C-alpha cells in the first residue's frame, strides 16, 4: 500500500501511480543465489535472489558500523492495471527490491555508516507470510556477505509495517529492534474496512460494481479492473457534483437509490461510507473544520460542519476504495473464494457514536436514518467460509514483542488507519499486564520493561487552503498526518535514530532525549493518553 | 499538535519539582481549568459570553483568596462550533495547557466527538457542567467523568408537552427542531407524552439562515400551525422569528430554553414586538430579576469584572463559576481529579445554584438540573413567570411523571463566596 496513494485525489484523472517515484532504482541483473556486488563511491551494493526467487538489494558503506536496517516495502498490486484507469493506469507488476523508504533516507543512513537491505519479494499483493520467510533468509544472507554485522533492525511501511511487526513478534533473536510504520492491520479487519467502503460505494452510487466474488482467471481480473473503472467513475461524478453544488450535490447517474433518498445530498452518503468503514474525516487537503474567508457566517458554519467533511470523505474514500478492489481481488485469488461478508453487519450500530459528532455532514438524524435504511434493505455480500478460514490462517499480530518496537503513523491515514496501530498497542498492553501479573505472582517487585513506543503524527488543526475565488485548493502538498504513509525525511531519520538507540541499548529511548529527538523531527507526538479510534471490526 | 512534543518536554522538567500529591493543572497557587466553545462564527452569539462570565466570577473569587489559596485560571478555546476543532482544542487544553478539568464545554456534537477522540474518561479528566442538554450524557457508565448542568432536552420537551396538553388543546401545533440528538431528544419526549404535531420541520445544524427560515415559515403557515414549538439554537430562532414577523405570521411561539435569550435575539435582528407574548421554558430566573439574590449578585460581579450586557448567557456563565468553586472546595485541599469526581457524586446535589430545580448528582447519576418553569416575554423582551409566579416542574429523561416541584433552592453563599467543604 505504501506505493499507492493519491496526492491530489480531487484531480483523479491526472494522478498516476507513485510506484515509480518511490521505488529505489536498484540494478536487478543478478538473480542468482550468490549476490553480485559492485562498489562505487565507497558503497558496496550487492543484488541477488533468495531461495524463493525474490530479488534483494544490500548496500553497505565502507565505514560500516555493524548495524543494518532491513526494510519491508508496502503493498504493490499483484496484477497490472491497464492504462486509462484513473490513478493507477499503466502499473505493471514489479518485484524491484527496495532497501529503504526512499533514496534520500538510504543515502543518509549509508552516510552514517549503517547498512541497508531490502527485498522486492517473490509475490506481490498481500504477501506477508512469504515475505516474513524471505526476510529471515535475507538477514542470513546479509550476515554471511557482511561478516562485520552485529545488529539488525527491521522497519517497513504499510504492508511492510505489518511484516515488520510480525518479524518483531516471531524473530526476537534475529532483530534488536523494529519500527512498523503506518502499519497494515491483520488481514481480516483490513478486508472488512476495504469491503465496507467498496460495498458502500456500490450500494449508494453504482450497484453494477461487483465488489467481490470475482471469477477465476482472466475473467475475474477483467471484473476487478472493471470495478476500478466504475468506482472512479462514481467518485469522479461525485467530485464534479461537489464542485458544482457543494450544498446539495447531485447523485451519480449510476446510482439506483430511491428518489426519496436522493433528496438527501449525495455528500452525506459519502460521509456515511467513510464513517462506517472507519476511514478518517481529515484528508490530504480537507480538515473538516475550515471555511473560505468572506462567506456569510451562516454559510461558513455550514461549510465547516457539512461541506468540508464531505470533501475530506471524497479524498479519503477514493484512496480506500482503490485498495478495496485490488486487495479483494488479490485475497480472493489466494483464499479461493469470496472473503468479505457483511451479512451480519449492523451499520447503524457501527456509526452509533459517529452520527452525533458528524450530524450536520450526515444531514441530521433523518438523513442518517434514511441512508441507513438503504444499507439495511440492500443485498449483503456473503463470503465463502472455506476462503475466510484460509484468510484467517494467514499471519496475524499477537502484539507480543520482547524487543524494543517503535510504532508511528498519521492519525488521518486513510488506507492504513490509525486504529491499526492502536490495535497492536492494545494487544501489547494486555500482554504486558499479563506478564506483570505473572511476575508479581512469582514475587517480582519490579515492573517488566515496556518495549513499545508509540508515536503519532496529528494533522494541524486547520490546513485547508482556498483559492482567491474561495474554491478549495488541492494543488498544495498533503497536510502532515494525512494521506498514506506521508512522512518526511526528518521523521524517517528520527525513527532510524530511535532504532539505532534501541539496538545499542536494548530499550527504547525515553525522557528528555526522546522528546528532543521527536520535537526536532517535527510532527511526531508522544501522548500515552491518546487512543486512536478503533472500529469494532478489530475484534478486540 | 505540532507543539505537543515540546510541551511534553517542558512539562517533564517540572514534574519532579511538584509535591508528591501534585495533580495535573494544580499547583500550590493555581488551578487551571479549560473550556471549549464557539467564540466566533454563526453559532457564537450568546455562547461567546459564557467563558468571560465564568472568568469574571473566578476573578472575584481570586480577589477574595481563591480556593484554599489557589487562584483559578480559566483558559477559553474557540472551537467555532466545529466538532473536529473541539477535539483539537481540547487536546490542546489537556496536553499543552495541562488543565486540571474542563468546565462548561459546549455543544452536543462537539462533546460527543471530544469524549470519544480525546478519551476524557480514559484519561480521567473531569468534565463539569456540560453546556448541552442531550440526555445521552446522563449515561454514567459511558461518561463516568462528565457531569451535566442543564436539564435534558427530553425533560424540557416532557414539561412542554404537559403545558401543551393543559393549555393548547385543540390548536394546530407546529414543531421546528434541530435534526440531531438535540431535537430527537425532544421529539421522542413529545411522542411519549402523546403530543402530535400537525407540521414538523427538522433542520440540520449549520443550515439555519434567513433563506431556510423562509421555507420553515411557509410550511408552518401553509399547515395552519397556531402554536409553534421551537427546539434549536438562538442563531436559528432569530431568522425564524424575524422572517415570520416579516410575513405577518404570528403564531403562539413556545421557544426552548437554549434558543430564547431575548437580548441575543434582539441583537440578531428580531423585533422586540415579535417577542412580546412568546412563551419560553426556563430553568433560571430572568437576568433582569434584581429581586433574585443570585441575579443581583451576578449583575454586580458583571459590572465590576466583565462589563458585558447581562443576559441569560452571562447569568449561566457566572453560575457555572459558582458551582465550579463549590466543586473544587468539596474536593478538598489535596485536589485531585478523582477527588473532584467523588465530590461531585457525593456533594454535588447540595451545591448552591441559580437554577430553580433540584440537582441530580449522585454516585449513580451525572444529571444536573431537572426542571423548568414556563415564562412569557413582555413588550420589552423581558421574561416573566407564566401565570404570575414561578411554578417549576421536574421530571426525568425517561418515563417518569412531570410533577410540580417542592424544591427549595439553596441560598446564595454569603458574599457569593462558597465556604462548603
State pLDDT tens for residues B145-202: 999 999 999 999 999 999 999 999 999 999 999 998 888 889 999 999 999 999 999 9
**Cα gap B57→B415, rounded to integer Å:** 12
Candidates B84, B112, B204; nearest CB to A287: B84
Average pLDDT, chain B: 92
Number of helices (H) and strands (E), helices first, in chain B? Answer: 14, 14
Q: Are A327 and A77 in contact (CB under 8 A)?
A: no
**Does the pLDDT of residue B17 top 50, yes or no?**
no
Say how far apart CA A297 and CA A300 lie, in whole Å.
Answer: 5
- In three-state secondary structure terms, B383 is strand
Q: Which of B160, B100, B43 is nearest to B337 (CA)?
A: B100
Minimal Cβ distance to B108: which of A356, A461, A516: A356
pLDDT for B19 equals 44
Q: What is the pLDDT of residue A256?
A: 97
CA–CA gap between residue B210 and residue B238 (Å, rounded): 9
- d(C-alpha A392, C-alpha A188), whole Å: 7
Distance CA A534, CA A189 (A): 11
B119 and A529 within 8 Å at the Cβ level: the answer is yes
Task: Give the dihedral sign, CA A286/A290/A294/A296.
Answer: positive
SS (H, E, C) A186-251: CHHHHHHHHHHHHHHHHHHHCCCCCCCCCCCHHHHHHHHHHHHHHHHHHHHHHHHHHHHCCCCCCC
Q: How many residues does chain B have?
A: 421
Which tens digit of pLDDT belongs to each residue from B284-341?
999 999 999 999 999 999 999 999 999 999 999 999 999 999 999 999 999 999 999 9
pLDDT tier for residue B207 given thresholds of 50, 70 and 90: confident
Cβ–Cβ of B204/A287 closer than 8 Å?
no
Q: What residues are paired with B36 via a beta bridge?
A: B77
* CA dist., res. A10 & res. A5, Å (int): 12
- In the block, cell 543494518 appears at A68
CA A137 to the chain's CA centroid? 26
Q: Are B206 and A360 in contact (CB < 8 Å)?
A: yes
Looking at residue A539, its pLDDT comes to 59
Cα-based angle A363, B91, B113 (whole degrees, multiple of 5): 25
Q: What is the pLDDT of residues B376-392, one digit of tens each?
A: 999 888 999 999 999 99
Position B359 pLDDT exceeds 60: yes
Per-residue pLDDT of chain A (540 residues), as tens digits, is 333 332 333 333 222 222 222 333 444 444 446 899 999 999 999 999 999 999 999 999 999 999 999 999 999 999 998 887 766 778 899 999 999 999 999 999 999 999 999 999 999 999 999 999 999 999 999 999 999 999 999 999 999 999 999 999 999 999 999 999 999 999 999 999 989 999 999 999 999 999 999 999 999 999 999 999 999 999 999 999 999 999 999 999 999 999 999 999 999 999 999 999 999 999 999 999 999 999 888 789 999 999 999 999 999 998 888 888 999 999 999 999 999 999 999 999 999 888 989 999 999 999 999 999 999 999 999 999 999 999 999 999 999 999 999 999 999 999 999 999 999 999 999 999 999 999 999 999 999 999 999 999 999 999 999 999 999 999 999 999 999 999 999 999 999 999 999 999 999 999 999 999 999 999 999 998 888 987 766 654
A296 vs B contacts (CB less than 8 Å): 209
Q: Is the dihedral of CA B135, B139, B145, B147 positive or negative?
A: positive
- Contacts with A481 from chain B: Cβ below 8 Å: 1
pLDDT at A229: 92
Which of B8, B91, B113 shows the shortest C-beta gap to A526? B8
Rounded average pLDDT over B66-76: 98
Q: How far, in Å, CA of B327 to CA of B341, rounded?
A: 9
Contact B119 A309 (CB under 8 A): no
Sign of the alpha-carbon dihedral angle for A508, A512, A513, A514: positive
Residue A368 is predicted with a pLDDT of 96
Looking at the complex, report in whole angstroms how far the Cα of residue B277 sits from the nearest Cα belonging to chain A. 28
Q: What CA–CA distance (Å, rounded) separates A370 from A268? A: 11
Contacts of A437 (CB under 8 A, 6+ apart): none
Third-level CATH fold of B4-151+290-369: Rossmann fold (3.40.50)
Q: Do A364 and B205 touch (CB under 8 A)?
A: yes
Instruction: Give A305 to chain B, closest Cα distance, Å.
Output: 6
pLDDT for the residue numbered A27: 43
Are A301 and B206 spatial neighbours (Cβ–Cβ below 8 Å)? yes
The interface predicted TM-score (ipTM) is 0.86
Compute the distance between CA of residue A460 and CA of residue B161 in angstroms, rounded to an integer: 45
Give the span between the Cα atoms of A11 and B333, in whole angstroms: 60
> How far from B326 is each of A43, A222, A343, B321, B344, CA to CA, in Å?
70, 70, 53, 9, 9
The superfamily CATH assigns to domain B153-282+372-404 is Response regulator (3.40.50.2300)
- Residues A483, A414: contact at Cβ < 8 Å? yes
- Inspect the interface and report whether the beta carbons of A288 and B84 lie closer than 8 Å: yes
Those residues whose C-beta lies under 8 Å from the C-beta of residue A217, and which sit 6 or more positions away, are none
Ranges of each domain in chain A: 9-185+398-531, 188-390
Q: Tell me which residue in B122, B184, B209 faces A365 most closely, judged by beta carbons.
A: B184
Segment B202-228 mean pLDDT: 94
Q: Could you tell me which of B214, B44, B109 has the C-alpha nearest to residue A361? A: B109
3-state secondary structure of B302: helix
Q: Dihedral sign, CA of B147, B149, B151, B152?
A: negative
- Min distance A296 CA to chain B CA atoms (Å): 8
All three cell numbers of A148 = 562485520
pLDDT of the residue at A538: 67
Domain A9-185+398-531 fold is Rossmann fold (3.40.50)
Of B17-26, B266-275, B339-348, the range with the highest mean pLDDT is B339-348
CA nearest neighbour of A100 among A54, A39, A57: A57
Look at A461 and B5 and tell me if their CB atoms are within 8 Å. no
Distances A365 to A201, A369, B139, B203, B397 between C-alpha atoms, Å: 21, 6, 20, 10, 19
Length of chain A: 540
**CATH 3.40.50.2300 domain extents, chain B:** 4-151+290-369, 153-282+372-404
Amino acid at each position: 500500500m505504501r506505493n499507492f496513494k493519491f496526492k491530489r485525489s480531487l484531480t483523479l484523472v491526472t494522478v498516476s501511480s507513485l510506484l515509480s517515484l518511490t521505488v529505489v532504482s536498484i540494478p536487478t541483473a543478478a538473480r542468482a543465489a550468490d549476490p553480485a556486488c559492485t562498489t562505487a563511491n565507497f558503497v558496496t551494493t550487492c543484488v541477488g535472489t533468495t531461495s524463493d526467487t525474490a530479488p534483494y538489494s544490500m548496500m553497505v558503506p565502507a565505514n560500516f558500523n555493524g548495524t543494518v536496517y532491513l526494510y519491508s516495502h508496502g503493498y504493490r498490486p499483484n496484477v497490472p492495471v491497464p492504462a486509462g484507469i484513473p490513478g493507477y493506469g499503466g502499473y505493471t507488476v514489479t518485484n524491484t527490491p527496495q532497501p529503504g523508504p526512499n533514496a534520500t533516507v538510504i543515502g543518509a543512513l549509508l552516510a552514517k555508516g549503517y547498512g541497508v537491505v531490502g527485498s522486492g519479494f517473490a509475490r506481490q499483493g498481500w504477501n506477508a507470510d512469504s515475505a516474513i520467510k524471505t526476510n529471515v533468509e535475507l538477514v542470513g544472507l546479509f550476515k554471511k556477505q557482511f561478516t562485520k554485522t552485529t545488529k539488525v533492525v527491521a522497519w517497513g511501511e504499510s504492508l511492510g509495517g505489518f511484516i515488520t511487526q510480525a518479524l518483531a513478534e516471531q524473530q526476537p533473536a534475529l532483530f534488536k529492534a523494529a519500527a512498523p510504520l503506518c502499519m497494515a492491520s491483520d488481514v481480516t479487519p483490513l478486508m472488512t474496512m476495504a469491503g465496507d467502503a467498496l460495498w458502500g460505494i456500490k450500494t449508494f452510487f453504482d450497484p453494477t460494481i461487483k465488489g467481490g466474488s470475482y471469477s477465476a482467471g482472466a475473467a475475474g481480473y477483467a471484473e476487478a479492473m472493471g470495478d476500478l473503472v466504475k468506482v472512479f467513475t462514481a467518485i469522479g461524478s461525485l467530485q464534479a457534483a461537489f464542485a458544482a453544488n457543494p450544498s446539495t450535490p447531485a447523485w451519480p447517474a449510476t446510482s439506483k437509490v430511491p428518489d426519496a433518498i436522493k433528496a438527501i445530498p449525495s455528500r452525506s452518503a459519502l460521509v456515511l461510507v467513510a464513517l462506517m468503514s472507519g476511514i478518517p474525516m481529515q484528508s490530504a487537503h480537507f480538515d473538516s473544520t475550515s471555511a473560505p474567508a468572506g462567506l456569510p457566517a451562516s454559510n461558513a458554519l455550514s461549510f465547516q460542519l457539512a461541506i468540508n467533511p464531505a470533501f475530506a470523505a471524497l479524498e479519503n474514500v477514493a484512496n480506500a476504495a482503490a485498495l478495496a478492489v485490488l486487495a479483494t481481488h488479490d485475497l480472493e485469488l489466494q483464499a479461493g473464494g469470496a472473503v468479505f461478508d457483511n451479512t451480519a453487519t449492523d451499520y447503524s450500530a457501527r456509526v452509533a457514536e459517529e452520527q452525533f459528532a458528524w450530524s450536520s455532514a450526515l444531514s441530521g438524524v433523518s438523513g442518517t436514518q434514511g441512508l441507513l435504511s438503504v444499507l439495511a434493505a440492500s443485498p449483503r455480500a456473503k463470503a465463502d467460509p472455506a476462503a475466510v478460514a484460509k484468510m484467517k490462517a494467514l499471519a496475524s499480530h499477537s502484539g507480543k514483542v520482547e524487543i524494543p518496537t517503535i510504532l508511528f503513523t498519521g492519525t488521518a491515514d486513510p488506507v492504513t488507519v490509525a486504529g491499526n496501530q492502536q490495535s497492536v498497542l492494545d494487544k501489547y498492553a494486555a500482554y504486558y499486564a499479563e506478564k506483570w501479573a505473572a511476575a508479581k505472582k512469582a514475587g517480582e517487585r519490579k515492573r517488566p520493561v515496556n518495549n513499545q513506543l508509540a508515536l503519532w503524527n496529528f494533522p494541524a488543526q486547520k490546513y485547508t487552503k482556498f483559492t482567491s475565488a474561495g474554491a478549495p485548493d488541492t494543488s498544495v502538498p498533503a497536510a502532515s498526518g494525512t494521506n498514506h504513509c506521508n512522512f518526511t525525511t526528518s521523521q524517517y531519520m528520527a525513527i532510524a535514530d530511535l532504532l539505532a538507540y534501541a539496538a545499542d541499548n536494548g530499550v527504547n529511548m525515553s525522557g528528555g532525549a526522546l522528546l528532543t529527538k521527536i520535537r526536532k523531527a517535527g510532527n511526531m507526538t508522544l501522548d500515552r493518553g491518546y487512543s486512536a479510534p478503533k472500529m469494532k471490526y478489530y475484534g478486540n | 499538535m505540532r507543539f505537543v512534543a515540546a510541551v511534553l518536554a517542558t512539562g517533564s522538567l517540572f514534574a519532579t519539582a511538584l509535591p508528591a500529591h501534585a495533580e495535573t493543572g494544580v499547583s500550590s497557587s493555581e488551578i487551571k481549568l479549560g473550556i471549549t466553545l464557539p467564540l466566533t462564527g454563526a453559532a457564537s452569539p450568546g455562547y461567546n459570553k459564557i467563558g468571560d462570565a465564568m472568568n469574571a466570577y473566578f476573578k472575584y473569587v481570586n480577589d477574595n483568596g481563591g480556593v484554599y489559596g489557589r487562584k483559578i485560571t480559566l483558559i477559553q478555546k474557540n472551537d467555532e462550533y466545529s466538532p473536529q476543532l473541539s477535539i483539537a482544542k481540547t487536546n490542546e487544553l489537556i496536553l499543552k495547557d495541562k488543565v486540571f478539568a474542563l468546565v462548561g464545554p459546549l455543544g452536543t456534537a462537539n462533546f460527543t466527538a471530544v469524549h470519544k477522540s480525546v478519551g476524557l474518561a480514559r484519561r480521567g479528566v473531569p468534565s463539569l457542567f456540560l453546556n448541552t442538554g442531550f440526555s445521552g450524557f446522563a449515561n454514567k457508565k459511558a461518561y463516568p467523568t462528565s457531569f451535566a448542568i442543564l436539564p435534558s432536552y427530553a425533560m424540557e420537551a416532557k414539561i412542554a408537552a404537559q403545558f401543551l396538553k393543559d393549555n393548547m388543546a385543540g390548536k394546530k401545533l407546529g414543531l421546528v427542531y434541530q435534526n440531531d440528538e438535540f431535537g430527537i431528544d425532544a421529539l421522542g419526549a413529545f411522542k411519549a407524552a402523546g403530543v402530535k404535531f400537525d407540521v414538523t420541520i427538522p433542520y440540520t445544524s449549520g443550515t439555519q439562515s434567513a433563506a431556510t427560515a423562509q421555507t420553515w415559515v411557509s410550511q408552518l403557515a401553509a399547515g395552519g400551525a397556531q402554536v409553534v414549538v421551537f427546539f434549536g439554537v438562538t442563531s436559528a430562532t432569530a431568522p425564524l422569528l424575524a422572517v415570520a414577523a416579516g410575513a405577518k405570521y404570528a403564531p403562539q411561539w413556545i421557544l426552548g430554553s437554549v434558543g430564547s435569550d431575548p437580548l441575543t435575539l434582539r441583537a440578531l435582528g428580531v423585533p422586540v414586538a415579535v417577542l412580546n407574548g412568546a412563551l419560553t421554558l426556563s430553568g433560571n430566573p430572568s437576568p433582569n430579576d434584581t429581586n433574585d439574590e443570585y441575579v443581583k449578585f451576578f449583575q454586580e460581579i458583571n459590572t465590576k469584572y466583565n462589563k458585558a450586557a447581562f443576559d441569560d448567557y452571562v447569568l449561566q456563565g457566572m453560575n457555572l463559576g459558582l458551582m465550579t468553586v463549590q466543586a473544587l472546595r468539596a474536593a478538598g485541599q489535596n485536589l485531585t481529579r478523582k477527588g473532584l469526581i467523588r465530590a461531585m457524586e457525593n456533594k454535588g446535589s447540595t451545591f448552591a445554584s441559580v437554577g430553580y430545580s433540584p440537582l441530580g448528582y449522585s454516585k449513580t447519576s451525572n444529571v444536573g438540573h431537572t426542571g423548568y418553569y414556563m415564562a412569557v416575554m413582555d413588550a420589552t423582551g423581558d421574561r416573566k413567570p407564566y401565570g404570575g409566579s414561578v411554578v417549576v416542574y421536574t421530571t426525568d429523561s425517561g418515563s417518569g411523571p412531570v410533577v410540580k416541584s417542592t424544591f427549595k433552592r439553596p441560598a446564595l453563599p454569603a458574599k457569593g463566596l462558597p465556604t462548603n467543604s
